[in-house]
Structure 1
Amino acid sequence: MLGEKRDSAFDKSAYTTKAFLMNEIKWQRRVELWGEGFSYHDHIRWDEGLDQSNSGAAAVLYQAGFMQAKPSTNSEWLFKIPQQEIDANPFISESDQN
């Protein structure tokens, strides 16, 4: 119903599989929310790695952020507790780290 309201040419029968529909949802989300900072959370939510190789971005500019393994296998996606905070607070230990 929402697809038809937004696009008169929308045809729900084109989405024959769950995976195909999910790819379309992800694409539309990227289009609608481009530049608003949601992609980081979307990559974590959908456990997708990061690959900028077909984006026109330069590997020299993005360095380690150019390609990242999916969040479930890569701890670089986590916001870690700064060591200074762990050292300053007796109620936080290394075991509290993500």
Structure 2
Amino acid sequence: MSIRDFFKVLAAIPAVIGRRRARGGFTHEAWQDGFALVELLLFPHGVFGAAIWYAKGHQEDPMRWFGAVVVGCALVWIWAYLLQQAYRALERAAQRLEIK
């Protein structure tokens, strides 16, 4: 993939959003999937905050920052995966617009 392809996909965002609106927005299932995704993202961010709170409050524990590092790595992986999936979906939508 070249940088030109990347920007071509990004430039298709307004057309993809317009097409989604023209089709009537989100279905009930898509809305439920999005809500479940938000719930699944809120939980690890809360755990990350709790791990940082624990690390700051327990100075005697030599491994106090280990939990925060592990949860932080998991959050980075989750966000990278979600952004990759979103980009792939946008890329497929942009290709559908080019075909028609």
Tell me which interval the TM-score lies in, with the shorter structure as reference length.
under 0.3
* TM-score, length-scaled by structure 2: 0.24
Instruction: Answer 1 or 2: which has greater strand percent.
Output: 1
* TM-score, length-scaled by structure 1: 0.24
